[in-house]
Amino acid sequence: MDERWLMPCKTNSRIMGERERFFRFLVVGGTAAGVNVLSGIALGRVIPYEYAIALAYLVGMNTAFFLSRLLVFLAAVGRIRWQYLRFALINVLAFAQVWLVSITLAHGVLPWLGWTWRTETIAHIVGVISPILTSYCGHRKFSFR
């Protein structure tokens, strides 16, 4: 497979600062989170909530990988397969956090608080947001090193 089209874009020669990189990570992560949540809502109409969260996470993770490689970690070099594998390993840990937070909120905390409006959607959004910092550090130091 010709992987040249997946190589990061470099529009100028300056080095991206850590603040700019983190901001880009937040934008890319927000986009991937939106894809995750929207696909979770769509999937939740046809399969149980717990499975919808898992499949939606995979859709969001793939979105995050390609956008992160192209827009955040511009200096990422190496074979895309190894980067994807490392990215997926970090996301396995993040998924455990997302799933636990989402399920705990949807089936425990929010009902206990008397929250009834879109309980599963709110729980899913909070769950998707929960691993921002740990994921950033893992991807910066491991996935795209």
Determine the pLDDT at residue 13.
41
Is the separation of the CB atoms in 73 and 25 below 8 Å? no
Is residue 1 very low, low, confident or very high in pLDDT (cuts 50, 70, 90)?
A: very low
Q: Which two tokens stand for residue 137?
A: 């550090």
CA 59 to chain centre: 9
Instruction: Dig out the tokens for 57 from the structure.
Output: 């996470």
pLDDT at 74: 75
pLDDT band with cut points at 50, 70 and 90 for residue 7: very low
- Using the predicted structure, report yes or no on whether residue 109 has a pLDDT greater than 90: yes
Torsion angle, alpha carbons of 102, 108, 113, 117, to 10: 50
Query: Whole-angstrom Cα distance, residue 8 to residue 15?
Result: 14
Contacts of the segment 33-36: beta carbons below 8 A, 24+ positions apart: 33/60, 33/125, 33/128, 33/129, 35/59, 35/60, 35/63, 36/60, 36/61, 36/63, 36/124, 36/128
Rounded-to-integer distance, Cα 113 and Cα 128, Å: 21
pLDDT band, residue 144 (cuts 50/70/90) = confident
CA dist., res. 140 & res. 92, Å (int): 16
60, 87 Cβ separation under 8 angstroms: no
pLDDT at 76: 60
Q: Which amino acid is at 73?
A: F
Write down the mean pLDDT value for the chain. Answer: 86
Instruction: Give, in degrees to the nearest 5, the angle at Cα 80 between 32 and 90.
Output: 50
Res 51: pLDDT: 93
**9-67 pLDDT, tens per residue?**
444 445 678 899 999 999 999 999 899 989 999 999 999 988 998 899 899 999 999 99
Q: Is the pTM of this model over 0.75?
A: no
